[in-house]
Amino acid sequence: MSNLTLDHVVKRYSSVTVVKDVSLAIDEGEFVSLLGPSGCGKTTILRMVAGLIDPSGGTIRIGDRDVTRLPPNKRNIGLVFQSYALFPHLTVHENVAFGLRRKGQSGAALDARVGEALAMVRLAGYGERYPRQLSGGQQQRVAMARAIAPRPNVLLFDEPLSNLDAKLRDEMQIELKRLQRELGITTLFVTHDQAEALSLSDRVCVMQDGVIQQFAEPETIYRRPATAFVASFIGKPNRLAGTIRGGRVALDEQLELRSESDLSGDGRPVEVFIRQEAISLAASGDESVNRIAGTVALRSFSGPQVKYVVRIGSDQELVVEAPSSGPAGDLAPGQPVMLEVHPQDVLVLSRETAP
Amino acid sequence: MRSWRTGVLLFSPLLLVLAGAFIVPLILLAPTSFREYQPGMGIVAGSFTLQNYVRIVADDYYREVVLRTLGLGVGVTVACLLLGYPVAYLIVRGRPGWRLPLTLLVIFPLMLNLVVRSFGWIVLLTNRGVVNNLLIDVGLIEAPLKLMFNVTGVTIGLTHIYLPFMVLMLVAALQNVPRDLEAAAATLGSSRFHVFRAVTLPLTAPGIIAGSILVFVLTISALVTPRMLGGPTYQVMATLIYDEYMQLLDWPSGSALSFALALATLLIIWISSRMTKRWAGLA
Ligand SMILES: Nc1ncnc2c1ncn2[C@@H]1O[C@H](COP(=O)(O)OP(=O)(O)OP(=O)(O)O)[C@@H](O)[C@H]1O
Ligand SMILES: [Mg+2]
C-alpha cells in the first residue's frame, strides 16, 4: 500500500491534448473518484497510471517509486475494467490465480489466497465455473477478486458498475466500499455517475476537458463548488445570470439576493447557482433568508416529489422541488408563491469560468 | 425449428451446386473404382475388385506418394502458420498506418494467376536461377543448390500460394481477442511474451486450427504447383491421379485414389472441427 502522485501529467494525441497538466496526490489508503463528462480524459489518466498509455509529459509515482516509464507488469497495480475482461478460457479459480502465479505463488498457498479473495467477493465455491457461466454481477465480482488477490499497491477502476442494473449497482457500491475499507488499498475510481462518486469517495476529483476543476471532499464539492462547471455538473442546479451590486447579487433591477459567496467587485457579471432542493416554498419567518416572489408557471408530478417551474423577477425561471404530500404539493399554475433560499445556498461564481 | 428450415432454404442453392458439380460425379465414379483395369485392354466390364484400394496402402510406390503428400501438407501448413502469425499479429496489433499496406501485400498475390506465380518461382529457384546465382556471387555456396524438382521447391511455392489464406484466417481470429484481456494480463504481472502465450495464443486457437485445415486441405489436393515446381518425377496424390487418368488411362486406379484423397480430407476436417469445438467452447 502506498500513495499515488501525478505530477504535471500531460497526454497529447498528435494535435489534440486530452489530458492537460494534471497534478493529483492521493494519500495512502484513500478512495478517490475521477468524475467528469464523457470524453474528459478519465480513462486516459487511469490507463496512464496503469502503464497502458504512455504519458506525453509529467511523472507518475506510486509510493516513492517513479513508475512513469515502467511497463504495466512492473507496477503492482490492480485494474478493473468496465468490460470485466475476464479470461474466457480460464476458470474463475484460474482467473483469480493469474496474478498470484505471476508472483511465483503455487500449490496450497495459492489456493488459499484464491479462496480468500473469492470469499471476500462472496463467490466461494464458484472456482470451477467459467466466466460465461456467471451473471454480469458475478463476473464483475470475479474481476474484483482477480484485481485484489495479488495485493496491489493501487487499485484502479474504470466505470466498473456501469454495465449493471440500478439495484445491483447499489449493492455493488456498498460491497466495493466495504472491500476497499477492509483492504485499505489506495484506490482511483473513474465514473461519470456523480451520486456514485459522492457516496463512495474520500475525495472527488471533478474534471472537464482534461483539466482538474476541483479536488475536494464530497461535501465541499457539493456545497462549495469551485467553478461554474462543477456547480452546474453536480446536483440539479438552477443557473441564472446576475451582477454584483453593493454586496449583493442582482438578478434584475428589483431582485437582489444575499449570498455567502464572494461578492466583491461591484458591477461584475456573475453566474448564480441555486439547487432545486435548496429552495423552500414554505414560509419560515426567518429574517436572514432570501425571499423571492414568483408565479407558478408549470407543475409536474413525479410520485414523492412535485416540480414547479416558477417565474421570478422580470424574465427568469427557477425549478423548485417540493414534497408532494406537504402543504406546497398542490399549487396550480398561475398561483403566486413566495420562495425562500438560504444565503449559503446561493452560489455566485465568475462568469469567465463558465464553459 | 423455423430457423433450421430457414437455414436449409438459404443453403439450398449452394447445396444444389455442390451436389451437381461434386457429389454426383463422385458417386458416378464409385463403380469405376471397383473395376479391373488391364493395360492395353482398358476397363474390364462387369469385373469387381478391391485391388485399386488395397494398392494404395500395400504398394510401396503408392504408399510413398500418399505419405509424401501428407508430409507436404504438414510442412506447408507449419510454414504458413509460422510465417503467417507474425504478419497477422502486425496487421491487427501493429501501428494503424501499417495495416492497409500490409493487408494489400498479403492479398496482392491472390490477384495473380497461379501458373504465373509458379513460373515466378521457377525463375527464382532453378539451377541458374536468381537465388542460386546470388548465393554463388556472394560466395556462400560453390555449386548451385537443388531447389527445384524436389520437396523444397514445392514447399516454397505452395507456402507462398496459401499464405494469404492463413493470414486472413489469423487476422480474423486476432481481431476477436479483446485488447482489454491483454491489458488485464499485463496489469496482473505478465510480460509481453507471457501475455501472448497465456492469453492471445489460446484465444486465437480456433483461428489457428481453421487456417491450418484450410491450408492442409488445399495443399494435399494441389495439382498445378506440384507439377510445375516438382517436375515429372516428384509425384503427389493429385499429380498421380492426373497421370493415371490422362496418361495411363487407368480410370479405376485414379478413381480409387480420388476417393482416398476425398476421404482423407473429410476425416481431417471432421477431426479438426471437433478440436475447434472443444477450444471454442472455452474461448
Ligand atoms: N488513441 C486516441 N487518439 C486520439 N484521441 C484519443 C485517443 N484515445 C482517446 N482520445 C480522446 O481523448 C479524450 C479522452 O478520452 P477518454 O477515454 O479518457 O475519456 P473518458 O473521460 O474516459 O470518457 P468516457 O466517460 O466516455 O469513458 C476523448 O476526447 C477521446 O476522443
Ligand atoms: Mg472512459
Residues from chain A contacting residue B190 (CB–CB below 8 Å)? 73, 98, 102
pLDDT in tens, chain A (355 residues): 578 999 999 999 988 999 999 999 999 999 999 999 999 999 999 999 999 999 999 999 999 899 999 999 999 999 999 899 999 999 999 999 999 999 998 899 999 999 999 998 889 899 999 999 999 889 999 999 999 999 999 999 999 888 778 888 888 888 888 888 888 999 999 998 888 999 999 999 999 999 999 999 999 999 889 888 998 888 888 888 888 888 888 888 788 888 888 888 888 888 899 988 888 887 777 778 888 888 999 999 888 888 999 998 778 888 998 888 877 888 888 888 888 898 888 888 887 644 4
pLDDT at A354: 43
Name the E strands within chain B.
36-38, 42-44
pLDDT at residue B114 in the model = 85
* This prediction's pTM: 0.82
Cα nearest neighbour of A131 on chain B: B282
Helix (H) or strand (E) holding A84: none
- Look at residue B42 in the predicted model and tell me its pLDDT: 81
Nearest-CA neighbor of A160 among A187, A133, A128? A187
Element at A299 (helix H, strand E) = strand A290-302
Q: What three-state secondary structure class fits A130?
A: coil
Q: How many CB atoms lie within 10 A of CB A236?
A: 11
> What's the rounded Cα separation, in Å, for the pair A76 and A86?
18
What are the grid coordinates assigned to A249, written together?
447579487
Task: Quote the ligand 1 centre to A142 CA distance (angstroms).
Answer: 27
Cell numbers that stand for B72 in this block: 507436404
Judged by CB atoms closer than 8 Å, whether chains meet at A72 and B183 is answered as yes
> With the C-alpha atoms ordered A299, A302, A306, A311, is the resulting torsion angle positive or negative?
negative
CA angle A321, A327, A329 (to 5 degrees): 40
**Spatial distance between the Cα atoms of B181 and B195, rounded to a whole number of angstroms:** 9
Whether B184 sits inside 8 A of A130 (CB atoms) is no
ipTM of the complex as predicted = 0.82
Q: Is the pLDDT of residue B2 over 80?
A: no
More confidently predicted of B2 and B213: B213
Q: How far apart are CA A204 and CA A31, in angstroms?
A: 9
Burial class from Cβ neighbours inside 10 Å (0-12, 13-18, 19+) for residue A60 reads: buried
**Which residues have their alpha-adjacent CB atom under 5 A from ion ligand 2?**
A 43
Task: Determine the distance separating the centroid of ligand 1 and the alpha carbon of A38, expressed in angstroms.
Answer: 8
The pLDDT score that the predictor gives to residue A86 is 95
Chain A residues within an 8 Å CB radius of B202: 89
* DSSP bridge pairs for B36: B44
**Residue B232 contacts residue B248 (beta carbons within 8 Å):** no
CB B106, CB B164: distance < 8 Å: yes
**CA B67 centroid distance within chain:** 15
**Cβ of residue A83 closer than 8 Å to a chain B Cβ:** yes
CB–CB contact A85 B183 (8 Å): yes
Beta bridge partners of A237: A275
Q: Does A87 contact B282 at a Cβ distance shorter than 8 Å? A: no
Cβ(B145)–Cβ(B161) below 8 Å: no
Which residue, among A131, A40, A53, has the nearest Cα to A87 in the 3D structure?
Answer: A131
Is the Cβ atom of A40 under 6 angstroms away from ligand 1? yes
Nearest CA in chain B to A81: B180
Range with the largest mean pLDDT of A351-355, B79-83, B144-148: B79-83
Residue from B198, B195, B175, B193 nearest B183 by CA: B195
Q: Which helix (H) or strand (E) holds B212?
A: helix B205-220
What is d(CA A102, CA A105) in angstroms, rounded to the nearest whole number? 7
Map grid coordinates 480474423 to a residue: B172
Report CA torsion sign: A108, A110, A113, A116.
negative
pLDDT for residue B17: 86
Model confidence at B246, in pLDDT bands (50, 70, 90)?
Answer: confident
Q: Whose CA is nearest to atom 24 of ligand 1?
A: A38
Average pLDDT over residues B149-156: 89
Contacts of A87 in chain B (CB under 8 A): 181, 184-185, 199
pLDDT at residue number B279: 66
Contact A38, A50 (CB under 8 A): no
What is d(CA A258, CA A267) in angstroms, rounded to the nearest whole number? Answer: 15
Q: Structural domains in chain A?
A: 4-228 (3.40.50.300), 236-350 (2.40.50.140)
Centroid of ligand 1 to alpha carbon of A228 (angstroms): 23
Separation of B116 CA from ligand 2 center, angstroms?
Answer: 52
**Do the chains contact at B189 and A89, CB–CB below 8 Å?**
no
Q: Which of B179, B181, B188 to mutate to test the interface with A (most CBs of A within 10 A)?
A: B188
Query: Residue A337 to residues A292, A340, B221: CA-CA distances in angstroms?
Result: 8, 10, 90
Percent of chain B at pLDDT exceeding 90: 34
How far, in Å, CA of A159 to CA of A143, rounded? 13
Q: Is the pLDDT of residue B69 over 80?
A: yes
Query: Which residues of chain B neighbour A81 with C-beta distances below 8 Å?
Result: 180, 183-184
Tell whether A163 lies on the interface with B, counting CB pairs under 8 A.
no
Q: Cβ–Cβ of B283/A88 closer than 8 Å?
A: yes
Give A88's contacts in chain B (Cβ within 8 Å).
Answer: 181, 203, 282-283
Instruction: Read off the pLDDT of residues A23-70 as tens digits, 9 standing for 90 and up.
Output: 999 999 999 999 999 999 999 999 999 999 999 999 999 998 999 999
Spatial separation of the C-alpha atoms in residues B175 and B178, rounded to whole Å: 7
Is residue A131 within 8 angstroms of chain B, CB to CB?
no
Q: How far is B209 from chain A (nearest CA, A)?
A: 16
What is the DSSP secondary structure assignment for residue B144, as one 8-state letter?
Answer: P
CA of A16 to the centre of ligand 1 (A): 11
